[in-house]
Amino acid sequence: MLQPPDVSLTPLLPVLIILAGAVSSTLLGFWVSRRVLTFINLGAVTLSALSLGLLWNGAASAFGGSLQADNAALLLAFVILTGTLMTLLVTLDTAWRARVSFPEFDAMLMYAVTGCLLIAFSGDLIVLLIGLEIMSLSGYVLATLQGSRRAEESGLKYFLLGAAGSAVLIYGIAFVYGATGSLNYAAIAEKTSVLNPENTAILVGGALLMLCGFAFKVALAPFHQWTPDVYGGAPTSVSLFLSTVVKVAAFAGMLRVFSGALENAPGWHSVLAVLIAATLIVGNLAALRQLNFKRMLAYSAVAHTGFLAMALLGTPQAGGAALTYYLLVYTLMTAAALAIVAALQRGEEGMSIPDLRGLYYRHPAYAVALAVCLASLAGLPPFAGFFGKYLVFQAAFQNGYEWLSILAALTSVAALVYYLRPAMLLFMPDRTPAREYGLGQRTPTTLTVALGVVGVTALGLLPNIWYSWVANPAIWTLLVGQ
Amino acid sequence: MTFTDWLPTLMIFLPLLGSLLLLVTPKTFRDEVAGFIAALTLGAGLAIWRGGGSELFRWDWIPPLGITYSVQLGGVSLALALVTAFMSFIAILYAARRIPNPGPMLSLILAMETGLIGIFAAQDLLLFYVFFEDALIPALLMLAIYGKSGRMAALTKFAAYTLFGSLLMLVSIIGVRYIGGSPTFAMTDLKQHLVQGSAQTWLYLGFLAAMAVKLPLWPMHAWLPDFHEQNHDSGIPDVMGTLYKVGGYGLFTFAIPLFPDASLELRPILMGLAAFTALYAAWIAFGQTDWKRLLAYAGLSHMGFVALGVFSLNETAVIGAMYLLAFQNLYTGALFLSVGMLQERIGSLDTRVGGVMTQAGALGGLTMALWFASIAVPGMAGFIGEFSILLGAYQVSPWLAFIAGVTTIGAAAYALTAFQTTFWQARPAGSVAVRDLVHTEWLILALPLAVLVLFGVYSAPALNLMQPAVRAVLTALGGN
């Protein structure tokens, strides 16, 4: 007797709504303008976020556990959707200036988000891989969509390195399957809790290969080289998307795999610690030398990868909560900062740091908002970036990585210097003519910026409004499902 | 919940509220609003003093992380908060007249006041850190908006040194709680779960990194002269910067109770460093020809004294250190303002102008009186502080006390030399006429001076306030 497959669409609801947005963008694009599509997609994102509330505490699953709509997935999906919402709002204003204002842009964006959500909801390595590939392929297209040499170069670079990363990841998945005989997170976790010596070498190899693959996706040094070129070369709204939503999704995958399935597997912790140390040093020191503000933000994204990954070294309970808190804060502040760049830049290569001089006297609201974002990125209280940093320091410290916490503290000094320089330039009086695009200040972008600034301030003063959701340790002990 | 429980919170956040209020206040009333808020804050402080200090107020801020909002103003913290409120008021009084379009400056002064009073009131280690960093932001903005041409380098240096220390302190803070096993970051809980053994020494060093930068202690002092030199001529940011020297207070309130064994263990080295800082800074100050740099090094020298007092862990010396810390803010702050007035009149900060006294007698006279307070002439508040420190330090280490004592001679030398070459000597031919003090300028210099004389002659109220607090902290050392 053939077993009917365990198909349940309710846990898939958030993903399906986004997919519906993507499909409708593909089809309706023939008849309506892109602006209308963007509004439809904004609706889809909002609906999807509301459906997360519907699934809260339901611990639903589908396809025999391959897809998990547990609380961890819902929280991560919320962060992904927040980033998407901010991206969509920014593209309303800047897509036409960036010459990417056609329906395919929206369709690709929504397909990418579908992939991102699948990663967060994944219950086994195959769903993870499918999500990752949907996300990556859409991302390659997004980076190339603008018909300029710079965009093409960055897209090609992204594609080649991303493909290599994916290949390594798939190889790692195969190894893990070979060692444990399963692709399901729960089964892998069960197998690795009692280690079988003859398979350990293969398991360690698989874990490390997967680590390399993920390191490509989140830009951990030394696999970060594509980031500055891609973030710098792609249109700013795409950089915004890649550096927030895509990165959040990749971290969601890492959390599922490393803090969930492979939690008890040996070896990867110390390698990850070394990668983080390298990332902190390389990212922060390289950002120090940048003259282009957008490139500096790209390197700062690399540096933040190092901080974010520190959470994976903590116990799943402390680390999961810290990572999810930090991811939301990181999304809010990075998206708001890049939204301001997108609004005020004259060309897609962003603005140079000296051009920011005296911005306060020309666009006071944007200047103050940018200063708040930079202060938050630097980790200065009372903004939320501080608590994000504090939580990951604490997670790593508690689990015995004191040296890494100290290294992170020291490299943060460099970070402060490069965030501070532009932040202070904003307020210095300036008599030269303005060098930014004068008409960039528009309502949807301002809305994005306001969301980011209000978000980091509110989360900084009362971290509990988000942290109380993610703090429950029970969410993170069940990362593998079941 | 009575009103007195809310007073410290009110005193902390009233200036910040005023700072935000200024953003929407019409230009014509801005000075009055700022002054009123600052006066109200000072009034709240005096009300707390009249009530004999406040009780500990505790509210669970972020329960899952064990971070509480615990504040208390009493003893040493109340004294320092009062001085902060007083000097902020004086700074606002001067800024309103001196700086054209003073809106941002007044806002920043008030915002910084919140951070500073918060630092002194915080009784939770993480809350302390939050205020500690918060006070930094307005200081940086003052330098960025009103600074001179070399401000970017000064700013970067200042921020890098400060953050280097405070981030190491953050790691220490995390360690203090987790290694000790305390449920929260509140001092009351942390004191019951002290870290033992060598871990305590390591955590103390992390904590010390932040405080040594803020004090500042040699060799972490390099940011200080540039910070003062590049700030606005009026000296208002310098007043706020002077108030920012919270290192001595942080060591006293947090380091001694939390790391008692480590404090005793490292005492000889740290006392030596402190004595050296005092002497070295006095020596460098002697060679300065810029009034602001001179004052910066003089302040550094005083801070060496404060550090000597705190590190010696002796009751007399610690009381002296806290006394000096409080009143040093008054005279150094007022001196920065007097330098600002001098600059306004002669357009230069050089110490070799000559002959100012002949035309601006009141400015010269008040400045001289303030310098007397600074070099610890008996009858002024500075003397009580420095003398107590030397008296206490002598009981611990006579030689180091002697080295530090030599500094007082050095102080007299650099102060009087600079004063003499600026205010006396011959007036250069063809120089502009110098106007004497007008309007509120009298108040700005005379009020701090009056307080200094009052507490130099009649120190009992301040000492009564501080002594129980110091005793309570030193009991952590186990009756040393």
CA distance B256 to A482: 49
CA distance A260 to A215: 17
Q: Which of A321-330, A440-449, B98-107, B349-358 is predicted most confidently?
A: A321-330
Q: Quickly list DSSP for A299-349.
A: HHHHHHHHHHHHGGGS-HHHHHHHHHHHHHHHHHHHHHHHHHHHHH-SBTT
CA distance B322 to B282: 20
What local confidence, expressed as pLDDT, does residue A428 receive?
A: 85
Mean pLDDT to the nearest integer, A435-463: 89
Residue contact A424–B155, C-beta within 8 A? yes
Which site among A356, A403, A413 would you substitute to test the B interface, given the most B Cβ atoms closer than 10 Å to its Cβ? A413
Q: Is the pLDDT at A480 greater than 70, yes or no?
A: no
The minimal CB distance from B145 to the residues A375, A390, A427 is found for: A427
For helices B223-230 and B236-243, angle between their N-to-C axes, nearest 10 degrees: 150
Q: Give chain B's end-to-end CA distance (angstroms, integer).
A: 38
What local confidence, expressed as pLDDT, does residue A139 receive?
A: 92
- Helix, strand, coil tally for chain A in percent (to 5): 75, 5, 20
CA distance B226 to B228: 5
Q: Are B81 and B249 in contact (CB under 8 A)?
A: no
The minimal CB distance from B160 to the residues A380, A398, A416 is found for: A416
Count of Cβ atoms closer than 10 Å to residue B277 Cβ: 28
B129 CB neighbours in chain A (<8 A) are 381
The minimal CB distance from B178 to the residues A397, A406, A425 is found for: A397
A416 CB neighbours in chain B (<8 A) are 159-160, 163
Residue contact A467–B63, C-beta within 8 A? no
Residue position matching structure tokens 């909801």: A121
Residue position matching structure tokens 């050296």: B276
A397 CB neighbours in chain B (<8 A) are 171, 174-175, 178
Which site among A315, A325, A428 would you substitute to test the B interface, given the most B Cβ atoms closer than 10 Å to its Cβ? A428
Please provide the average confidence, as pLDDT, over all residues in chain A. Answer: 89
Q: Are B230 and B148 in contact (CB under 8 A)?
A: yes
CA quadruple B167, B173, B179, B184: dihedral sign = negative
Q: Are B15 and B37 in contact (CB under 8 A)?
A: yes
Q: Is A162 on the interface with B (CB under 8 A)?
A: no
Which site among B19, B65, B203 would you substitute to test the A interface, given the most A Cβ atoms closer than 10 Å to its Cβ? B65
pTM score of the predicted model: 0.91
What local confidence, expressed as pLDDT, does residue B480 receive?
A: 47
- A363-393 in b/e form (b: 16+ CB < 10 A) is beebbbbbbbbbbbbbbbbbbbbbbbbbbbb
Let me know how many helices (H) and strands (E) chain B has, helices first. 22, 2
A 351-380: CB under 8 A from B: 375, 380
Residue A122 DSSP label: B
Residue contact A427–B133, C-beta within 8 A? no
Q: Are B420 and B353 in contact (CB under 8 A)?
A: no
Residue contact A424–B63, C-beta within 8 A? no
CA distance B181 to A370: 39
B163 CB neighbours in chain A (<8 A) are 412-413, 416
Residue contact B156–A375, C-beta within 8 A? no
Per the structure block, which two tokens stand in for A291?
A: 């003259």
Q: Are B172 and B206 in contact (CB under 8 A)?
A: yes
The minimal CB distance from A420 to the residues B64, B159, B167 is found for: B159
CA distance B253 to A15: 54
Closest approach of A358 to chain B, Cα-based (Å): 10
Per the structure block, which two tokens stand in for A157?
A: 């670079």
Strands B67-71 and B57-62: antiparallel
Q: Is A465 on the interface with B (CB under 8 A)?
A: no
Which residues lie across from A310 on neighbouring strands? none
Which residues lie across from A184 on neighbouring strands? A124
Closest approach of A354 to chain B, Cα-based (Å): 12
Q: Is A402 on the interface with B (CB under 8 A)?
A: yes
B207 CB neighbours in chain A (<8 A) are none
A468 CB neighbours in chain B (<8 A) are 64
Mean pLDDT to the nearest integer, A453-470: 90
Write the CA distances from B477 to B262, B315, B480, integer angstroms: 10, 11, 6
What local confidence, expressed as pLDDT, does residue A307 receive?
A: 93
Who's near B264: CB < 8 A, 6+ residues apart? B313, B477, B480
Which chain B residue's Cα is nearest to A411? B164
3-state secondary structure of A412: helix
Burial class (CB in 10 A: 0-12, 13-18, 19+), B161: buried
Residue contact B174–A424, C-beta within 8 A? no
Residue position matching structure tokens 């444990």: A180
- Chain Cα centroid distance, residue A100: 22
Which site among B60, B128, B130, B172 would you substitute to test the A interface, given the most A Cβ atoms closer than 10 Å to its Cβ? B130
Q: Is the pLDDT at A197 greater than 90, yes or no?
A: no
Residue contact A417–B136, C-beta within 8 A? no
Task: Cis check for the bond before B216: say yes or no (omega within 30 of 0).
Answer: yes
- Chain Cα centroid distance, residue B106: 19
Q: Is A397 on the interface with B (CB under 8 A)?
A: yes
What local confidence, expressed as pLDDT, does residue A471 receive?
A: 86
Count of Cβ atoms closer than 10 Å to residue B475 Cβ: 12
Closest approach of B342 to chain A, Cα-based (Å): 25
Closest approach of A193 to chain B, Cα-based (Å): 27
Q: Is A464 on the interface with B (CB under 8 A)?
A: yes
Mean pLDDT to the nearest integer, A239-266: 91
- Residue ranges of alpha helices (H) inside B135-250 are 136-146, 151-180, 187-192, 198-214, 223-230, 236-243, 247-250
Pairs of residues, one from chain A and one from chain B, whose beta carbons lie less than 8 Å apart: 82
The minimal CB distance from B171 to the residues A393, A417, A471 is found for: A393
Phi, psi dihedrals of residue A184, rounded to the nearest 5°: -80, 135
CA distance A225 to A219: 8
What local confidence, expressed as pLDDT, does residue B468 receive?
A: 87
ipTM: 0.87
What local confidence, expressed as pLDDT, does residue B17 receive?
A: 92
Phi, psi dihedrals of residue B350, rounded to the nearest 5°: -70, 145
Q: Are B229 and B77 in contact (CB under 8 A)?
A: no
- Chain Cα centroid distance, residue A210: 18
Closest approach of B156 to chain A, Cα-based (Å): 6
CA distance B283 to B44: 41
A460 CB neighbours in chain B (<8 A) are none
Q: Are B301 and B382 in contact (CB under 8 A)?
A: no
Phi, psi dihedrals of residue A431, rounded to the nearest 5°: -110, -5
> A350 — alpha (psi -120 to 50), left (phi > 0) or beta?
left
A386 CB neighbours in chain B (<8 A) are 130, 133
Closest approach of B20 to chain A, Cα-based (Å): 13
Q: Are A447 and A335 in contact (CB under 8 A)?
A: no
3-state secondary structure of B57: strand
Condensed to tens digits (0 to 9), the pLDDT of residues A387-432 reads 999 999 989 988 889 899 989 988 888 888 889 888 888 888 877 7
Which chain A residue's Cα is nearest to B148? A428
The minimal CB distance from A413 to the residues B64, B130, B163 is found for: B163
Who's near A29: CB < 8 A, 6+ residues apart? A37, A102, A103, A104, A106, A107
Closest approach of A309 to chain B, Cα-based (Å): 17
Q: Which residues of chain B have pLDDT under 50?
A: 479-480
Closest approach of B265 to chain A, Cα-based (Å): 23
Q: Of A120, A32, A131, which Cα lies nearest the Cα of A83?
A: A120
Which chain B residue's Cα is nearest to A414? B160
Residue contact A406–B65, C-beta within 8 A? no
Residue B427 DSSP label: P
Q: Is A412 on the interface with B (CB under 8 A)?
A: yes
Q: Is A421 on the interface with B (CB under 8 A)?
A: yes
Residue contact A381–B129, C-beta within 8 A? yes
Closest approach of B13 to chain A, Cα-based (Å): 13
Closest approach of B164 to chain A, Cα-based (Å): 6
